[in-house]
């Protein structure tokens, strides 16, 4: 239920119409061009995707849920300290759901750091750097 006593199921069509009316003011040629529409309310997101209150950011985007506090200080390093090899990514981690792929990029960096060759197989780090250098050199030669 919303703060005014209404609910998303009863207002979805009306609110979608309001949004389209605003769009038609700026793009009048769109009126009549829309043949179908799908209305996805926060309640729909909760029902179909399990997002509490339809929050695509998973947790609030307030200061106490940002940076080293997201989702909470103990888990803000993209991994679960008590369970080795369990990593976190997605809208619940920094920087949140509005920055596409950034959380995955950050988590990948943590995973790669944890799995860097020198920790797994001493001596392999030099081989990896050498192989990468050879590949870069070959690519540079092809561009000439």
pLDDT at 101 over 70: yes
CA neighbor of 89 nearest in space, from 101, 73, 72, 74: 101
What the block records as the tokens of 91 is: 């809208």
- pLDDT tens digits, residue range 42-84? 888 888 887 777 777 666 666 666 767 667 788 788 888 888 8
* Candidate ranges 31-45, 74-88, 106-120, 129-143; pick with highest mean pLDDT: 31-45
pTM here is 0.49
What is the C-alpha to C-alpha distance for residues 93 and 136, in angstroms, rounded to an integer? 33
Using the 8-state DSSP alphabet, how is residue 59 labeled? Answer: S
């Amino acid at each position: 239920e919303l703060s005014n006593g209404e609910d998303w199921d009863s207002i979805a069509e009306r609110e979608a119409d309001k949004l389209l009316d605003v769009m038609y003011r700026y793009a009048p040629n769109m009126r009549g061009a829309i043949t179908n529409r799908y209305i996805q309310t926060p309640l729909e997101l909760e029902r179909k995707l399990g997002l509490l209150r339809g929050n695509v950011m998973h947790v609030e985007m307030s200061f106490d849920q940002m940076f080293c506090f997201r989702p909470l200080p103990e888990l803000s390093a993209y991994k679960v300290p008590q369970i080795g090899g369990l990593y976190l990514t997605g809208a619940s981690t920094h920087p949140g759901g509005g920055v596409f792929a950034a959380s995955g990029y950050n988590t990948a960096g943590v995973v790669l750091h944890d799995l860097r060759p020198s920790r797994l197989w001493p001596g392999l780090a030099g081989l990896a750097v050498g192989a990468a250098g050879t590949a870069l050199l070959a690519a540079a030669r092809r561009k000439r």
